[in-house]
Structure 1
Amino acid sequence: MSGNISFFQFFLGRLPDVLSQTVIHLQITGTAVFIAILVGVPLGILITRSRQLARIVLNGANVLQTIPSLAFFGLMIPLLGIGRPLAVFVLFLYALLPIIKNTYTGIKGVDSSLTEAGRGMGMTNLQLLTMVEVPLALPVMMAGIRIAAVINIGTATIAALIGAQGLGSFIFRGISMGNNNLILTGALPAALLALLVDFLLGRVELLLTPRGMRK
């Protein structure tokens, strides 16, 4: 019991700092995921039109995903220096794969009879995309965005090592000092933040899903 009270008091004593670092954490991950959406969604749609291009893009994104995040940060330092720009860039690359893959999977999963019916009604390719394919693929696309956001919130803790700050700064400071309370001060808010973002994006996914497809 005394340990719980001790951590609670420790956490409350650093609450203003925790809140400011949480805002920084959200800014880094939010910017990275937003840029990944701007790049990944159009790219995921584009590769549905070419099987060869899809193979190249998806394999390339898979390769990026296999590189350990800490190694990626280290490799990019000579090019981008240290700080938040580097953190945003690396997290953007990590967010690309689930967004591209789920966009591609969602569009390719639309029933071909629906697109053929649209063509029979005189729809153009752009109309088919915006009025049939994307609305039906939205649940799968949003699932990719949710995965990217949750992964990035966890990975962003490592960005504290390259001067980007965020909740990871508590974790690494706690490790260097052997202070478990300090580690938990960074780890618990990061975990709760990931759960909250996943929940909120799940609500957005539900709102964007056509009524007939809602569970």
Structure 2
Amino acid sequence: MKKVAFLFSGRGSLIQSVINAVDKSRITAELSVIITNNIEFTSSSNPLFLGRKVNMVNHKDFSSRSAFDEHIAGILRANQIDLVILGGFRRIFTREFAMEFGSITMNTHPSLLPALPGDKAQQKSLDMGLRITGATLHFINEEVDAGPIIDQEPVRIYNGMTENDLRQAIIEVEQKMIYRAILSFLDGNLMISGNKIIYKDYMNVQNPE
């Protein structure tokens, strides 16, 4: 059975796409591990988390980034995780973590990379007066927001849009990308070649039902 882990720092809004993909996968898979470093998170704030174990790991409890990353790595190893989804997980992993787990760790980013890497991409898009931004799903590597790009979709910015409006619009796009990417990965339909992603059969990449 393929095992998927989901890591987040906010409300965990993107978990729906992970649950849908795992439930609909043509091969046996399960959402085995959920980790958050948001100490204010409660499962009651999102009914999708009810009945699911959420590992609370406060990064402030660790003496260094390396110690925090090693703790996360230990959880992933112990559960023999096949795929990691970072859904709004606001931590930069160390080089050692990226080298071990980069080829199975997908990260969402609220811009069309390589444009606007790093934090606060939504507000930067608004401040710059962009008319189109978007979302990127990529594997992680040793550089911030520079790993092989799995999928991208544009999001139009309308007059009067607030940062929250834009965030919600991007989340809707990210949900679809995560769903498609999980199915493609679990089905063996994508592979990393250098810093690029190759789909073995792009026409079979599925959209959410």
TM-score by length of 2: 0.26
Q: Which has the higher contact order (CA 8 A, sep 6+)?
A: 1
More helix by share: 1
TM-score by length of 1: 0.25
- The structure that has the greater radius of gyration is 1
